[in-house]
Structure 1
Amino acid sequence: MKKPMIIGLTGSIGMGKSAVAEMFADEGVPVFDADAVVHDLQKAGGALVPAIESAFPGTTGPQGVDRKALGAAVFGDRDRLALLESIVHPAVAERRRAFLATHQDADMILFDIPLLFEKGGQAAVDIVVVVSAPAPVQRERVLARVNMTPDKFEHILALQMADAEKRARADHVIDTGKELEATRADVRALVKKLRVGLA
C-alpha cells in the first residue's frame, strides 16, 4: 500500500505556523499538531501530569501542568529542559504513530513541529515547509502576546535556529509577511503541486 507523503511544517516563533497549518487542513491535509498534543498530555488528568510533578515538584495542580511554573523551572537550564523533553517527547512520538496509523489512506499528512530542525526531526519527513515573515513583523507579533517581554523573546530566539538557515534548508518556504489571502493562495498552490507529483 502506498504510504502518505509526510510534510514537516516548521518556523520560528511568531511566523504564523499555526495559521498556515490550518490552511493545509482546509485543503484536506490531515494535520498533526505537536503543541496541541503536548497541551492535551499536560491538561487536568493528562497522561504526563504525574511524571512531570514527580520530576518538577510544585509545577502541577488541579488544572494539570502549570505551564508558567514549569517554564520557570526549566528556563535557562539545559539539563532540566532535557529532563522535561525525555518525559514529553516519547509520549508525543507515540501519539504521532497513532495519528499516522489512523490516516494511512491519506495522500499526504502534515506534521506541525516547531523545533523540527533543532531536534533533527527533518529525517522523519519527506518534505520540509518553512513558514517565514520579515523580522520586524515577527517581533511585532510576538511582543503582542500576553506575558511576552523583549528579553523572553530574545531567549526563545536564541534557542531556535535562525530563520535564514531554516529557509535555506527548506524544500518550500511560505511567506506569511503578506495578506492572509495571498498566503492562503500560496498554500493552495503548493498542495496542488505536491498532489500532482503524487498522482
Structure 2
Amino acid sequence: MKIIGLTGSIGMGKSTTAQMFSDLGCPVFDADATVHKMYAKGGRAVPLIRAVFPDAIVDGAVDRKVLGHHMRADSLNLKVLESFIHPWVGEARTLFLTQAKQNGVKAVIFDVPLLFETGGDKKVDATVVVTAPAEVQRARVMSRPGMTKDLFDMILSKQMPDAEKRRRADYIISTAEGLDAARKAVKSVLDDIL
C-alpha cells in the first residue's frame, strides 16, 4: 500500500484535490478534520483545553478563535498544545492505516497542510503539492467569510512558501486550469505512483 502525502498552502485547492483522490478509491486521512473532531463537543481535547484555557470552551466545544488568541499570546502555549494533539493525531492516523490495509486499498492519502514543515514527508512514499498562482490563491482566500488581509498574511507566514513546497515535491498538481484539468492530473499522478 502506497502512502501519498498531499499538501499545499491555504487557498491552493488541496481539499478539492483530496476529494479527487478519494473519488478514485484512495481513502483520505485529513489531519485538520481529525483535530476539528477533537475540538468538537465531546471531543478528546476539550477536557484538557478546558483545564488550561477555560475561556476557550464555549458550549462544550473549543472556540478556535479564543484558543488561537492564547496560541499567539505565548509561543510556549502552542508547543504545549501540540505536545498532546500531535500524538493523538498520530494514533488516529495509525488506526486509519490499519483499517486501509485490512480493506486492501492500493493507496491512501495523508492530507497534511504542514507536511514538509513537520517532517511528515519522510513518512510517506510520495509527496504531492497542490498549487496555483499567487493571485488565484489570494482571490480564493480573500473570498472566505471572516478573512482579512492581516489574517491571510499571518497564515502565509506560518507556511513554507509555495515555491519551496514545489521544489521538494515528487508531484505537482496545479488547480488554476479548472477542475477537469486537475482531475486528469490527479489520475496521472496516482497511476504513476501505483
TM-score using structure 1 length: 0.93
Partner amino acid, structure 1, of 2:185: D
Question: 2-side partners of 1:113 and 1:164: how far apart?
Answer: 17
1:51-84 CA-to-partner distances (Å, cap 9, x unmatched) read: 1122222101224111111112112632221122
Q: Which residue of 4, 8, 12 corresponds with 1:7?
A: 4
Contact 2:126 2:193 in 1 (8 A): no
**1:120 corresponds to:** 119
Listed as ranges, the matches of 1:1-80 within 5 Å are: 4-75=1-72, 77-80=74-77
- Deviation at 1:106? 1.4
- Deviation at 1:193? 2.0
Contact 2:35 2:85 in 1 (8 A): yes
- Following TM superposition, the consecutive aligned residue runs of length 4 or more in structure 1 with deviations greater than 3 angstroms are none
Question: 1-side partners of 2:161 and 2:36: how far apart?
Answer: 26
Contact 1:24 1:187 in 2 (8 A): yes
**2:147 corresponds to:** 148
Question: 1-side partners of 2:73 and 2:162: how far apart?
Answer: 21
Partner amino acid, structure 2, of 1:156: I
Contact 1:43 1:65 in 2 (8 A): yes
- Identical residues among aligned pairs (%): 51
TM-score using structure 2 length: 0.95
1:93-118 CA-to-partner distances (Å, cap 9, x unmatched) read: 00000000000121111100000111
Question: Aligned residues, how many?
Answer: 192
- Deviation at 1:43? 0.4
Change (3 A) 1:24 1:76: farther
Partner amino acid, structure 2, of 1:56: F
| Residue segments in structure 2 that go unaligned for 5+ positions in a row | none
Question: 1-side partners of 2:179 and 2:149: how far apart?
Answer: 26
Contact 1:51 1:87 in 2 (8 A): no
Tell which deviates more after alignment, 51-60 or 107-116.
Answer: 51-60
**2:179 corresponds to:** 180
**1:82 corresponds to:** 79
Question: 2-side partners of 1:76 and 1:106: how far apart?
Answer: 43
Name the SS for the 2:54 alignment partner: coil
| RMSD value, Cα | 1.1
Name the SS for the 1:99 alignment partner: helix
Partner amino acid, structure 1, of 2:57: T
